[in-house]
Amino acid sequence: MFKSMILLAQIVMPAFTKSQSLSDTVKLNLNDVITIAKVHSTAAVQAATILENQYWQYKTFKSNYSPQLNLNGTLPQFSKTNIAVIQPDGTVEFKPVTNDNSQLNLGLTQNIGLTGGQVFLGSNVLRFSDFDRKQTRYNGNPLVIGLDQPLFAFNALSWDKKIEPLRYEESIKRFKEDMEIIGRDASELFFSLLIAQINKDIAAKNLSNNETIYKIGEEKSALGRLSRDELLRLKLSVLNARKAKAQANVDAETADLQLKSFIGFSSNNQIQLILPENLLTFEVDKDIAIAQAKNNRQKALEFKRALLEADRDVAKAKGENGLKVNLYGTFGLTNVADKFPGIYNNPKDQQEIRLGFQIPILDWGRSASKIKTAQSNRKLVEATIKQAQINFEQEIYTTLRQLAMIKEQIQTNAEADITANQRFEIAKKRYFLNDLSITDLNIALQEKDQARRDYIFSLKSFWNTYFNLRILTLYDFATNKKINGNL
């Protein structure tokens, strides 16, 4: 997954940078912007880093079920002091002691996920040196095999084996959702810049139109065919158009910087966006959308994990507040010797077995309260998840209804855009022929601009809703394929 992102980054960016100089204008469509954002944006790096972090956490969890080999020791443990020595008559004498106690332990442990216990295999050696008496002794266990097994206790290993794989799978699905969210956010910024650029073009054209109309108005006024009041209104329209153009330039520059900052694009190149008028054609069955969302989204796994965690907490409350029994046993070989190799010659066997228990007799209802609290929390989690599942499905239904409505709006707004533009051209000609008032001309101009903006906003709504549907289902209905998180 990460390698494919890096490879695509190496392919995508040269296509937009090597072929242009720093002063060139780069033309980008919506897919280009989303692709760059998924490779170079800070949000994409954060999503990949979070996924990588979850992967290593999952590896840590899996290591709990694998053998662990450890070597530890104390080399040396030197001591020079006085110690109290009880004499035959009961008095105490302090004697100087200078010695060294060095030890080395090698141990292999294996957790038992099914029972929550642990088996271990070890070997150790202890070297004691008395420097005052010039004596050296070795004590060691060439081999020790043991079992440490809690009985009737809460088994954290068993519950982790159910929960942690779900948590890791969640992180993978969450990464896919994060990448789709990046696509949607990039689309938002794409249309913000596109609308700003269109407003800039509209403002420039309006200024040109108003200046042309004003010049004609001056000619008419010179011939006495236009009142001074109307001429001043035309001049005011020019001034307003200049202010609108200046503001549109600022808005376009701001939107340009915001988009570049998000997608990690060079600020040296100018971006010219291509209007995404070729809409995707697809039909969405709501039942299929719900099924895909339950299979693909992180939320569905989150619900399952939350219930398992609630069940685990109940089991933990019961296991930690009832009868506790622990079985501990070892079997091994031991020996002492004057020299190190001697501890391995004819060692003697040793055994140890211990059964400990703890029974709560009187705790003033503490154990029962903890269990009831865990059970109550489990009911709350179940109720919360039930409501979340309803909201989960309702959100998909709402998105599908919005998508159907927006498709109809786009067609209407496209026709209105064409019609309003044609009407303005006719109105402008009629005004030049002195067949239309300046008020009606301004109305036609405003309607033309508003129709154009409505059409762009409807395109924005379509694409944003489409990307929201992808986020909600992690399924691309345009291609009928699951979204795998790659670009």
Residues 328 and 12: their CA atoms lie apart, in Å, by 62
Buried/exposed 256-280: b ≥16 CB within 10 Å, e otherwise: beebbebbbbeeebebebeebeeee
92-111 vs 118-130, strand pairing mode: antiparallel
| pLDDT beyond 60 at 230 | yes
Question: What pLDDT sits at residue 276?
Answer: 87
| Structural element, H or E, at residue 391 | helix 366-432
Q: Lowest-pLDDT range, 5-14, 221-230, 304-313?
A: 5-14
| pLDDT beyond 80 at 126 | yes
Q: Confirm if 12 and 44 have CB atoms less than 8 A apart.
A: no
Which of 284, 399, 279 has its CA nearest to residue 30? Answer: 279
- Give residue-wise pLDDT tens across range 292-317: 988 888 888 999 999 999 999 999 88
Q: Taking the CB of residue 416, how many other CB atoms lie within 10 A of it?
A: 19
Instruction: List the chain domain ranges.
Output: 2-62+160-308+375-482, 72-112+117-152+326-359
Q: Confirm if 17 and 40 have CB atoms less than 8 A apart.
A: no
Q: What is the pTM of this model?
A: 0.80
Q: Confirm if 471 and 184 have CB atoms less than 8 A apart.
A: yes
Name the CATH topology of 2-62+160-308+375-482: Outer membrane efflux proteins (OEP) (1.20.1600)
Average pLDDT, the chain: 86
Residues 433 and 420: their CA atoms lie apart, in Å, by 20
Any idea what the Cα angle at residue 354 is, between residues 352 and 356, rounded to 5°?
Answer: 170
Which of 19, 325, 37 has its CA nearest to residue 178? Answer: 37
- Give residue-wise pLDDT tens across range 316-339: 888 888 788 989 999 988 888 888
Higher pLDDT, 174 or 6: 174
Q: Confirm if 65 and 161 have CB atoms less than 8 A apart.
A: yes
pLDDT band at 1 (very low <50, low <70, confident <90, very high): very low
| pLDDT beyond 70 at 166 | yes
